[in-house]
Structure formats: structure tokens, C-alpha cells
Amino acid sequence: MGKTVLMQGNEACVEGALAAGMRLYAGYPITPSTEIAELSALRLPQEGGKFIQMEDEIASIACAIGASVAGVKSMTATSGPGFSLKQENIGYACLAEIPLVIVDVQRTGPSTGMPTSPAQGDVMMARWGTHGDHPIIVLCPSSVKETYDLTVRSFNLSEKYRTPVILLMDEIIGHLREGMELPDPEELEIIDRPTVRFPEPKRLPYHMKKGQTVPAMAPFGCGQRYNITGLIHDETGFPTNSHEEAEKLMYRLMHKISDNYDDIVRSEERNTEDADTLIVCYGGTMRAATEAMERAREKGMKVGIFRPITIWPFPERELKKLSGKVKKILVAEHNYGQIVLEVERIVKNDCKVDFIGKVNGTVITPDELVKKLEEAE
């Protein structure tokens, strides 16, 4: 059994990362994620790890990538402006298949925006921010306890599939304090990357046996010298202009995520059994949606909630099953409309899709949600 603690969302992120095996944090202070850097600076030396403040956001993710290549579980955290700067290196980590966790505690934008105000405007950037087709996994917590759990899960998925994973938080959850049970680390499932130590000299670094989609990784310094590049490469790790090799590589990178949908994708449903109206929300917005659902049901409205926990890949199979059973879907998010576009794509003509959003630095309230639900009656 663990112990009950009062903890902030950003603090839970650090504790989850340490439990998952993070031993290097490289970052740059930026509101509202700064507590992650501060607590990492305090806690990592206590666990035998290293904290380093880099000169900027680009250097921060580059440092974390370098540590991961050497075999160290690494993390960096930021907010919107810094997340923009990290995009090129996110693409590099995707192509080179370097495990890495990137935390984005969203704030109101664009540009410098409103640093201390909540928002969820980085959803599409999390999926498509770096250029080109690329695989990505994005998780989004709605409580302090879930922040801890999903940070552990982010590391596990990153290690298992050799890919960067984004933990997409928001200011609401990052700065929220609530009681939670801190698990005993020995009870956690911890996954480490497939690793080849002291490999044979002629081993190809990106070679896999038939049926494998994730190559074993030899940490630098363990006996094998090999090339890592952001260019399209073959099994040797060196660049190639072969169209066949390019297609082979890109197909594998995309399908190592899409073919493992059931292992990766998670969602939550509340009161969907009899619902004729569905609130779709995620992250901190879930707090207001839950109270709005309860108030609406007291008024006789059959309202349920669908929450994607894995934002990317989006849990479209689960939403599609529900969209054929309800009359209306209300998408609530703190932006000008991002996940609503994904919902409309999936639902098509199954039911009506409505939207409520905010971009002024304030939060959507339960009263506003209930009013929107009543207007749709």
C-alpha cells in the first residue's frame, strides 16, 4: 500500500517520472510548468539522477535526446512557446526512434499569450507540430492522481515503442492540488526499452527479425558504434535515397503505433448506458463537465461523458460506438475548436455535434455547460 499525500499536478508528474525510472531532466523554466523543473532539481539528485537547466528549449530537448541515446530515461517539460521550439527535435526523435517524454503544460496563446491562464490550444500541435508524417502518442490527465499514473504510462509507452511520448497537461491540472494515494513503486509495472548490450560488431542497429516492429537499442558506450540521423535511413542507420527503403521505414514507424491501438489507446465513459446527450471533454475541462452532467441529470436530462485519455491516437472506435446511440454530442474544450474537428470527422452524420469553447484565459463553468445543454433540448 502507498501513502496518502496532498500533491500538485506538476509535482505528481515529477514523482511519476521518478517512479518510472527518469534519471535525467533537461529543461528551461516556463510558466505554468516551472514547478516540474524545480522539483526535478530537488528530487533527481536524491534518486541518483541528474538535473540540468539548459540555455533554451531547443537545447533542453536535445540534451534529453542525447541522454536517452546513452540509455538513460529522460524527460523535458515546457509550455506552449517552448513546445513550439521543441518541434524539430520531436520529429528527429520520431524518425531516429529515441525514447523520450515531453510534458506540455498548456497555457493561453498564441505567442507569449497569458502565461498563468489555462488553455488547451496545443492539441493539434501535439499531433502535427513537427513536419512530415510521423507517429506520436499523446496522453492527457484530468486529475493529480492520473497525472502520476499517466506519467508512468508515458515512459512505459515511450520505452516499449521507442518513440517520443507527449504528456499534454493544462494549467488547471498542473497547478491543482488534491489528495491522492502515492503508490508503492514496487507495485508499478515499469517497462524498459528493448536493449542490446555489448552487441556483436556487425549487428545492424535498425535490423529486426520477421514480425518485429521495434528494433532493440544499443546504448552508446556499450561496445557498438552506429549512426543516428534525421535523414531517411536503412537498417545500417545511414542515410539512403532508396524509395523502397523510405517506404519500408515510414510504413513501420506509422504501423508500430497504429497496429497496437488496443495496447495504446485509453478512454473513459461516465453514464453513457442511457445517455442521449454526450459531453466530450479532456484534461482539466473534465472537472466542470462532471458537475454539469450531475446537475443535468438532476433536471431529468440523460447526459453522459466521453473523455479521451489518449488524445493521439484518438479513441475513435470507442466514440463511434457511442455516436450511433446518442442524439447529440457537446464538445467542451478550452480553445477555439480543435478536438471538435476530430469528433465531427468520426461521427459524420450519426448525430448532431455542438461546441463550447473559451480562449480568453478563463475556464468553462458547470453553469455554462448546463445552459448549453438546456439550449440543445
Mean pLDDT rounded to a whole number for the chain: 95
Number of neighbouring beta carbons within 10 Å of residue 337: 13
Helix (H, G, I), strand (E, B) or coil at 94: helix
Number of neighbouring beta carbons within 10 Å of residue 312: 23
Q: Give the pLDDT score at 209.
A: 82
Model confidence, pTM: 0.96
Q: Give the pLDDT score at 203.
A: 81
Q: DSSP character for 72?
A: -
Positions in the chain short of pLDDT 70: 1, 377
Number of neighbouring beta carbons within 10 Å of residue 209: 7
Q: DSSP character for 226?
A: -
Q: Give the pLDDT score at 347.
A: 96
Q: Give the pLDDT score at 210.
A: 84
Range(s) for CATH 3.40.50.920 in the chain? 269-375
- To the nearest 10 degrees (0 to 180), the angle between helices 144-161 and 9-20 is 30
Q: Give the pLDDT score at 202.
A: 77
Range(s) for CATH 3.40.50.970 in the chain? 3-187
Q: Give the pLDDT score at 224.
A: 78
CATH entry 3.40.640.10 includes domain 3-187: no
Q: Give the pLDDT score at 377.
A: 67
Architecture category of domain 269-375 in CATH: 3-Layer(aba) Sandwich (3.40)
Q: Is 124 exposed, middle or buried (0-12, 13-18, 19+ CB in 10 A)?
A: middle
Helix/strand/coil percentages in the chain, nearest 5 = 40, 20, 40
Q: Give the pLDDT score at 222.
A: 80
Instruction: Identify residue 138 by its one-letter amino acid code.
Output: V
Q: 101 is written with which cell numbers?
A: 517524454
Q: Give the pLDDT score at 208.
A: 85
Q: Give the pLDDT score at 84.
A: 97
CA angle 89, 75, 170 (to 5 degrees): 90
Phi, psi (5° rounding) for residue 249? -65, -50
287-291, long-range: CB < 8 A, 24+ apart: 287/142, 287/172, 288/332, 288/363, 288/364, 288/365, 288/366, 288/368, 288/369, 289/332, 289/366, 289/369, 291/366
The greatest distance separating any two alpha carbons of the chain, rounded to the nearest whole angstrom, comes to 71
Instruction: Identify residue 32 by its one-letter amino acid code.
Output: P
Number of neighbouring beta carbons within 10 Å of residue 215: 21
Scan for cell 524539430, then name that residue: 88
Q: Give the pLDDT score at 1.
A: 63
Q: Supply the Cα-derived Rg of the chain in whole angstroms.
A: 21
Helix (H, G, I), strand (E, B) or coil at 53: strand
